[in-house]
Amino acid sequence: MGLRPRRRLPAGRLSAPPRRPGRSRPGPITRITVDMEEHPMSQQQTPAVAPSARTGWLPAPVGELMPLVTGLGAGLALCTACELGLPDAVEEEPTRVQDIAERAGADPDLVGRLLRALAAFGVFSPAGTDRFTHSRLSSILRTDALEGGGVFLQTVRDEWMGGSWTGLTEAVRTGSPALPARHGKSLFEYFATDAPREGETFNEAMTLMVGSMNEVLAEHIDVGGATRYVDVGGGQGTMLRAVLRRNPELRGVLFDLEQALTEVHEELRTGDLSGRCEIVPGDGLRSVPDDADIYQMRTVLHMWDDETCVRLLRNCARAAKPGARIIVIDQLVDPERPDPMSTLMDLQMFLIAGGRERSEQEFASLFERAGLEFTRVVRTPVLLHLIEAIVPA
């Protein structure tokens, strides 16, 4: 004998009344309704609900956490799409999932589901039930895109970054950065000896991201009659190039480790600015070039712990003319108004090198310990700002 299906109750009914004896069909049913706003259990046990496009109908506190929880999956989905070459497999016109999967050498069903998941975040756009086209965000992930979005995604997939984040729990427990603990060497030693391709991708990503801010930063630098300008840790020299182009009276020194100076911008090596630019290899933790009016460090101090930063700043103070200026270009952390970019970058800097992002007060403390006088912060419309000090007379 089969089981009889359980009857569904209309909304608002708590139970069905029993059948009356001797009748084959149920008698009249009394409809019972409950005002949930006045019901005491609704206020004590029913959590608030916060529907949204990202969280759905989840209790409010849990719903608010869901972007953090799902963010890991979304990031890995994006990395997977790039690793499979999906941005290059999607054409300008709507492209069939089957064709995309064949070009990627992947399972068509899962490619479609992956694209659908990314489309929910604005990466790719559905065009019918079995086709996708590019969105503004997916288009910058193509290998020929000038914006270089794929380069940034490659750094996330590389061991130096992705592997370091997997060591966050142990790093927080021990107070030791993850990458040196994992590989027994510093980040740049790791690039030089173990992963040169990762080092090249890192340099390319930094040139694209930080280099895109050069013109704005140079516009906010007041050289104030200076004649000799040293870019400490300047790498390819793109920041110094922007400063020299805006200040024709200025002579520059590009100073960095020898291995960091292998791809100096052509304009500084042999081009129009070569006559005003000296390229000097060296280690700033030992010494820096003498007698400059301005020593500038862009995204250098955030790589190091406080003791190392003070050591570098002291070397600048010793080498500089009295009254010379120190310009640090970095992010600024606001302890009372934390933002995702600076705070997550702060953790990343610790994981890979023991560094940190700093507040205005923390920079002022570094300057004081190095024998410098903190003067001001020049805020810019981009991610990085200018934190300045002077060498006492």
Catalytic positions: 302
Residue with tokens 């400490």: 232
DSSP 17: P
Beta carbons within 10 angstroms of residue 352's beta carbon: 22
Query: How far is the C-alpha of 319 from the C-alpha of 314, rounded, in Å?
Result: 9
Query: How far is the C-alpha of 99 from the C-alpha of 84, rounded, in Å?
Result: 13
Residue 63 structure tokens: 């719903």
Question: b/e for 332-351, b at 16 or more Cβ within 10 A?
Answer: bbeeeeeeeebeebbbbbbb
- 373-379 contacts, C-beta under 8 A, 24 or more apart: 375/325, 377/332, 378/220, 379/332
Residue 26 structure tokens: 């149920």
Tell me how far CA of residue 255 lies from CA of 27, 293, 316, 348, in angstroms: 93, 15, 12, 25
CA trace torsion 81, 83, 89, 95 (10° rounding): -20
DSSP 371: T
Helix (H, G, I), strand (E, B) or coil at 353: helix
Residue 152: CA count within 13 A, CB half-sphere: 15
Query: How far is the C-alpha of 72 from the C-alpha of 311, rounded, in Å?
Result: 37
Residue with tokens 């969280």: 55
Query: How far is the C-alpha of 118 from the C-alpha of 81, rounded, in Å?
Result: 9
Strand blocks (E) in 50-92: none
DSSP 49: B
Helix (H, G, I), strand (E, B) or coil at 254: strand
